[in-house]
């Protein structure tokens, strides 16, 4: 039995993508319905509200990873929607997305990078990616 192929995606800060691609990746990553571009226009959203984003693409052009970076315009940035295709998981794609976001936030002068996550992802964010645990609050609206 042969080992699965190791993926070597290219990571691009503010890389091009379509809302259709992002909606499909989001549905796969978070097990949600696939939204239409009219329901969730990712391109418009990130252009209006984000410091940037990172795309991960295979040589075939397939989008296999994405992370959005929002910020306060000064020293705080947040990573949001870390998405990795099922076919690309457990190959450090998520880690490289986070590291690319971190590096660009640092270069922009940010002093803090925030993330919130479900408890089952603590090992990924704290142990693997290097975030420090912190107290936070969340209010469902």
Residues lower than pLDDT 50 in the chain: 2-3
The helix/strand/coil state of 70 is: strand
pLDDT given for residue 137 in this prediction: 86
Segment 46-64, tens digit of pLDDT: 999 999 999 999 999 999 9
Q: In the chain, count H helices and then E strands.
A: 4, 5
Segment 75-97, tens digit of pLDDT: 999 999 999 999 999 999 999 99
pLDDT given for residue 3 in this prediction: 47
Instruction: Yes or no: say if 111 and 71 are a contact pair by the CB < 8 Å rule.
Output: no
Which H or E run includes 97?
helix 93-107
Task: Please state the domain extents for the chain.
Answer: 10-128
Tell me the pTM: 0.92
CA distance 38 to 73: 28
CATH (one of 3.40.630.30, 3.10.270.10, 3.40.50.10440, 3.40.250.10) for 10-128: 3.40.630.30
pLDDT given for residue 7 in this prediction: 74
pLDDT given for residue 81 in this prediction: 93
């Amino acid at each position: 039995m042969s080992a699965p192929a190791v993926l070597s995606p290219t990571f691009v800060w503010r890389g091009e993508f379509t809302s259709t691609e992002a909606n499909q990746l989001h549905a796969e990553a978070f097990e949600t319905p696939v939204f239409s571009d009219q329901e969730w226009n990712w391109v418009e959203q990130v252009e209006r509200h984000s410091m940037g984003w990172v795309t991960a693409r295979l040589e075939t052009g397939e989008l296999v990873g994405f992370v959005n970076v929002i910020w306060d315009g000064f020293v705080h940035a947040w990573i949001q929607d870390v998405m990795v295709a099922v076919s690309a998981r457990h190959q450090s794609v998520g880690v490289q997305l986070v590291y690319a976001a971190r590096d660009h936030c640092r270069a922009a002068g940010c002093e803090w990078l925030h993330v919130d996550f479900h408890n089952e992802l603590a090992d990924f964010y704290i142990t693997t990616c290097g975030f420090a645990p912190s107290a936070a609050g969340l209010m469902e609206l």
